[in-house]
Amino acid sequence: MKSMTGFGRGEISVNGVRFRVEISSVNRKQIDVVVNLSRDLAELDIPVRKTVAEKVSRGRVVVSVTVEQLSATGQSLRIDEALAEQYHAAGERLVKKCKLATGLTAADILRSPGVVSLNGNTMEAASSWPSIQEALAKAMTAFDKSRTREGAHLKKDMMARLRTLKGLLKRIAKDASTVTAYHRTNLQRRLEESGLPLPLDDERLLKEIGFFAERCDISEEITRLECHFEQFQNYLNSSEPQGRAMDFLSQELNREFNTIGSKANKAGIAQLVVTGKSEVEKIREQVQNVE
């Protein structure tokens, strides 16, 4: 089992150029891959996205690709003198118009946009892809290990809560055998206390009491919960992404506990149901992070 939250970094240096790929993710119901590339490498968006989507089924994944020149070999400095002269002339006019004390310096002009640029060693997408692909593979390996570690923590927590739920269900099942008799006796007692002239041995009355008591029977819900627990355990042990299925099953667990609480209508069972629903809700919160 893997978490939808993770981080991985991979880098490789080739011919004085460092290629670095960083991958981070957060939970999301569907797969959403965002790739950050420079303009020169924009055409690599699709292959990068495809590589990530093959390994991830859910979550918002952000992939950042950076290319860094480790040396200035093969590069040359270019100064746009015409543009620099325009900056200088504009500055002098501003100084005179606003009556400023000092004018522009050479350093000011060199920092102006477009005056200084580097020529040479332009990154080409086709030639850069093998190196980026290798860095991406390293990042994906680290990313996968990160998600697996986080998934192991999630699994451990949910297994502990599942054991708690099984224990609660055993206690509920033990008390469930007395629910029908409890409500039958309670109804008969209320009829007697009401003072109504109703014969308690009347066949129709006894049948109605029996029907009401049977509607309070929770054995079916207990059986379904036992099956749900077994299926949830299978999901936890699966090597395939089961986040969506676990999310749906946790909703079913909550529904069954609600039904038990409303049908049993008994203080002892009601307290166990409240505890069970609290554990199910904590499981549902954890499931939101499972791939």
pLDDT, one tens digit per residue, over 148-189 is 999 999 999 999 999 999 999 999 988 877 766 666 677 667
Q: Are 160 and 199 part of one and the same domain? A: yes
Q: What is the CATH number of the domain that holds 23?
A: 3.30.230
**Cα-based distances in Å from 281 to 38, 193, 228:** 44, 42, 15
> Could you tell me if residue 1 is inside a domain?
no
Which one, of 190, 171, 181, lies nearest residue 260 by Cα?
Answer: 171
Q: Are 243 and 131 part of one and the same domain? A: no
Give the count of domains, the chain.
3
**What's the sign of the alpha-carbon dihedral 225, 229, 231, 232?**
positive
- The 10s digit of each residue's pLDDT in 190-222 is 767 776 665 656 666 666 666 666 667 788 899
What percent of the chain clears pLDDT 70, i.e. is strictly above it? 82
Which one, of 128, 108, 133, lies nearest residue 54 by Cα?
Answer: 133
Give the domain range for residue 32.
6-72+123-147
- The 10s digit of each residue's pLDDT in 32-74 is 999 999 888 999 999 999 999 999 999 999 999 998 877 655 5
pTM, to two decimals: 0.71
Tell me which long-range contacts 227-235 makes (C-beta under 8 A, separation of at least 24): 228/252, 228/253, 228/256, 229/162, 229/165, 229/166, 229/169, 232/162, 233/159, 233/162
Q: Are 156 and 279 part of one and the same domain? A: yes
